[in-house]
Amino acid sequence: MEKAINSLIRALNQADATAPDWLHLLPAVGFSGADGRGPYTKPDADALIALFGKDGLKLAVDENHSTDLAAKQGFSAPARGWIVELQKRDDGIYGRVEWTPEGKRMMEAKEYGFLSPVFFHTAEAPFKVTKLLRVALTNDPNLPFLKSLHSKEDADMLEELRKALGLPETADEAAVMAAVKAAHAAQAAAATNQTATAALMSRIAEAAGVAADTAPDVLVTAIQSRGKATATEAENAELKTQLVSLQSQLTTLATGTARDKAEAAIGAAIEAGKIVPALRDHMIARHMKNPAEVETELKVMPSLNAGGLGGRKLQESGDTLTAEDDQVMAMMGIDPTAYAATAKALHGKGN
């Protein structure tokens, strides 16, 4: 899993994108713009596609509506791509684009994230889209519900991260990124500790008179033999001190790594609505002792409510536990009295 996380972190940092072949131009349902323009009726995809085929003209893909703004002022407004085909899909009308070299470079560099279509429509509301004219690359979309230029890539990346980190399918982007950061921090700390441990092992090997890369079990045998044969009392005492220090460092490293992994897994489960926040410390402690057992439980746990833990409601009196609480207590073996007190306190804080 460590290699998978490292490669995904590098992928997130490098963001090596490719230019999309299809652009989401219009939705399949009625819509309005973020600036209040509209409402527009459900686009007639068949009619719009037929008109596009009849005209036989490519539709320009420009930057920030330069065709409608800059060109009319006499400034350059080059196309960054050309829509050469329209297609009707379940979520709207898509256009297949042939990018210019500069447009392809822009897409691969992720310089733009969204689209803004330009179209003719009828004069009176609710307006009907009558013809697609072109589409602009933008970072300030008026129709933000259209698929972003990176939506497929980002969705695939999140799915890969969920699998690599052992997170549930319900983990959202915030939970995934929190787990990635925790894993990355744990690996960085482990690398630092491993470097220090390697240096200490080298010093111990030198003191024992064996090669620096000697295996731990062989090193122990060499130390024991040396202690029985030629080592002075002072040398043995020094070796014992170094071994105690080494054991302490290894224990600290193992404990820290286990806690980081536990906090990431339980934090994601809380975000997914599978565990109430009141059980966070309890579940982290369990995960540190037996991560495989806890992660198996998390995979089969249902979300306690559709809206996440923030929407969890106690009964009006605040004294009676819900069916969700009964389920949690049964799964976790929690005392009902203690759980009720914690849940009631948690409910009070949320009001």
Of 68, 20, 45, nearest in space to 128 by CA: 45
- pLDDT at 314 (0 to 100): 46
- pLDDT at 240 (0 to 100): 64
Residue 242, both tokens: 């170094």
In the chain the first and final C-alpha atoms are separated, in Å, by 41
Q: pLDDT (tens digit, 0 to 9) for every residue of the chain, 351 residues total?
A: 444 445 444 444 444 457 899 999 999 999 999 999 999 999 999 999 999 999 999 999 999 999 999 999 999 999 999 999 999 999 999 999 999 999 999 999 999 999 999 999 999 999 999 999 999 999 999 998 898 887 665 556 666 666 777 777 666 666 766 777 677 666 666 666 666 667 767 767 776 667 777 776 676 666 666 555 444 566 666 666 766 666 666 677 667 788 888 999 998 888 888 888 888 899 999 999 898 888 888 887 877 654 444 444 444 444 556 666 666 666 666 667 766 666 565 555 444
- pLDDT at 83 (0 to 100): 97
**Residue for token pair 């129709």:** 143
Dihedral angle of Cα 168, 172, 175, 181, to the nearest 10 degrees: 100
Q: Enumerate residues 6+ apart whose C-beta is below 8 A from 1.
A: 164, 165, 166
Residue 228, both tokens: 């029985």
- pLDDT at 96 (0 to 100): 96
CA angle (150, 154, 156) in 5-degree steps = 125
Q: CA–CA separation, 208 vs 214, rounded Å? A: 10
User: How is the chain split into domains, by residue range?
Assistant: 1-16+151-312, 18-149, 314-344
- pLDDT at 301 (0 to 100): 80
- pLDDT at 163 (0 to 100): 73
Burial of 250 (0-12, 13-18, 19+ CB in 10 A): middle
- pLDDT at 174 (0 to 100): 64
The verdict on pTM exceeding 0.75 is no
- pLDDT at 170 (0 to 100): 66
Please, how many CA atoms are within 13 Å of residue 34, restricted to the half-sphere of its CB? 8
- pLDDT at 197 (0 to 100): 67
